[in-house]
Amino acid sequence: MKAVMGNLSAGAEVFEGILGIHQNTTITAKEVKIAGANWIKGNELMRQLVSKVDVQFTEEAAEIIVRRFGEDVVSLLLKKHPPTRSMISVAAMNKRHGGNVMRALVEASEGFELDANTFSVALGNKLSGREVIGVFLNRKKVKIMEEVVVMALRLDFDIAQLLLRREDIEVTENVLYEAATSTRGNAGMKLLFSLRPDASITE
């Protein structure tokens, strides 16, 4: 199977034949990397893999898929492999399909907390990171942790502005401190209270 997946000239029919021989197959990260390296047939091969009812994926394999492939493949994967926090964090690195893949993951999840680590990964994604962050901000099932608001105030006022428009964002002491000590002078406080004039300061 690995030889077929890595063969640039391998046709769908040949690949289907190979899969038909293997029942209850578990795909590992190694197989996914081989398919991903096939620029001509890789996406088609992976779509066939995730469509097979008798094929399962390890967690590491699922993480590579959400990082490298598009929404069509990921949506099929999610029917058999529910999204995990690790998958969501890794998907923030997906440069070509980040926004659509993250949207599929969030919709398939029961909700999760966005922490500074995942937020930082999305910020570092120069191609689709903004779209990924947009998905986080526009989904109520994504709980934004305090550390994300603090990081946004420190690194990106545009994102901080969008964050503070969410009614569920609490203005904690740490958020207030970051706004007050911003390197942009009093811009942080102006931003904070222009968007949240009635915000209560919580512990």
Question: Between 19 and 24, where is the model more confident?
Answer: 24
**So what's the pLDDT on residue 11?**
45
- The CA–CA distances, whole Å, from 90 to 20, 75, 79, 102 equal 31, 16, 19, 10
Distance of alpha carbon 31 from alpha carbon 58, whole angstroms = 11
Give this prediction's pTM: 0.84
Residue burial 114-141, b: 16+ Cβ < 10 Å; e: rest: bbbebbebbbebeebbbbbbbbbeebee
Band the pLDDT of 14: cuts 50, 70, 90: very low
Q: What number is the average pLDDT over the span 150-170?
A: 90
Instruction: For 88-122, write each residue's pLDDT tens digit.
Output: 999 999 999 999 999 999 999 999 999 999 999 99
Domain spans, the chain: 1-57, 79-141, 145-203
The arithmetic mean of pLDDT across residues 72-79, rounded, is: 96
pLDDT, position 187: 78
Residue 57 near residue 35, CB atoms below 8 Å: no
Q: 201-202 and 171-172 as β-strands: parallel, antiparallel, unpaired?
A: parallel
Extended strands (E) in the chain = 25-27, 55-57, 112-114, 142-144, 171-172, 201-202
Residue ranges with strand state E in 13-169: 25-27, 55-57, 112-114, 142-144
Cα 145 from chain centroid (whole Å): 16
* Dist. CA 145–CA 148, nearest whole Å: 6
